Amino acid sequence: MTTKIIMIYASMSGNTEEMAEKIEEVLNEQDILLEVKMVDDANTSDLLDYDGIILGSYTWGDGELPDEFLDFYDEMDELNLDHKIGAVFGSCDSSYPEYGAAVDILTNKLKELGASISVQGLKVDGMPDEQSFEECTHFANQFILQLLNPQK
C-alpha cells in the first residue's frame, strides 16, 4: 500500500512557497504519493484521505494565521485526525513580537484533532537561504522517517 501525503500551504511573498517546493522535492524522492495544494484550493475533508499531513503558513500581523487560512482552520474542527502524522512549517519575521505563531497555531490544531506531530515545526526567518533549505530537507526527511516508522 502506497503511503499518501498531502501538503497544504499559504504564501504571500513566496517565502513559504519556496520552503514548500524544497520539501516537495525531498518527499518526491520517496516511494509515496504526494499531493500539494494551496490552501485556497483545498478542502479540510481532503486531510482524511492521507496518512501524512503537512501544513505550511506564514505568520500574519502580530501573530495570526493569514486570512486565506482562517476558514480552513475553522473547518478543521469537524475532523478526527487520529492515526494521522502531521507537521507544520512556515516563513516568519523576527521583527514581530510573535515569531512564527502560525506554525504553532497549526501544530496545536493538528494535535487537538488527534494527529501525531512527527517533527518540530519548522520556522524560517524571511527569505529562505541555503541553510534554510537544508533545514527544509531535514524537516522532510524526519517527517517521512516518522511516517514510515511511527514507533521510532
Q: What is the pLDDT of residues 75-95, one digit of tens each?
A: 999 999 999 999 999 999 988
Per-residue cell: 64: 495570526
Residue pair 93/60 in contact (Cβ under 8 Å)? The answer is: no
Name the pLDDT band for 152 (thresholds 50, 70, 90).
Answer: very low
Per-residue pLDDT at 84: 96
Average pLDDT over residues 21-40: 95
Residue pair 106/88 in contact (Cβ under 8 Å)? The answer is: yes
Catalogue the E-assigned strands of 3-139. 3-9, 32-38, 52-56, 85-92, 116-117, 122-125
Name the pLDDT band for 151 (thresholds 50, 70, 90).
Answer: low
In tens, the pLDDT along 16-28 reads: 999 999 999 999 9
Cβ count near 48 (within 10 Å): 13
Per-residue pLDDT at 61: 84
